[in-house]
Every structure is written in C-alpha cells, then in structure tokens.
Amino acid sequence: ILNQGGAAGKRLDFMMQELNREANTLGSKSIATETSRLSMELKVLIEQMREQIQNIE
C-alpha cells in the first residue's frame, strides 16, 4: 500500500475500518468469554493503528 503511491493513509484507514468490523463480528458471535475479551483487545489495537495512520494522511 505504501509503495503504490497516492492516498496510502486513506487506504490504510479503510483497511482498519474493515478490521474493526471483523473484530466486532467476532465479538458478537463468540460464545466463549476469552474470545470476547480477545476481540476487545483486538479493537483497542486496531484503534491504536488508526491513530498512527492519521499521521500518514
């Protein structure tokens, strides 16, 4: 993505949105509490990545 040129930040932000949707789906469909906990951790990490991507734009 970074080597393609253009609006890499926007593409990365879109990918983070998709990852966040997947993490939400994982959390909502999980039965095990450990999976739900890991889903929340994943969402926190995705949000941290989105904050870093904001610096690229």
Q: Is the pLDDT assigned to residue 4 strictly greater than 90?
A: no
Determine, yes or no, domain membership for 16. yes
Residue 26 to residue 9: CA distance in whole angstroms = 25
Determine, yes or no, domain membership for 1. no
Residue 43 CA, chain-centre distance (Å), reads 6
Whether residue 45 contacts residue 20, with contact meaning beta carbons closer than 8 Å, is answered with no
Domain that holds residue 24: 7-56
Determine, yes or no, domain membership for 23. yes
Determine, yes or no, domain membership for 42. yes
Residue 46 CA, chain-centre distance (Å), reads 4
Region class of 12: left (phi > 0), else alpha (psi between -120 and 50), else beta: alpha
**Tell me, what's the pLDDT at 23?**
95
Determine, yes or no, domain membership for 33. yes
Q: Is the pLDDT assigned to residue 57 strictly greater than 80?
A: no
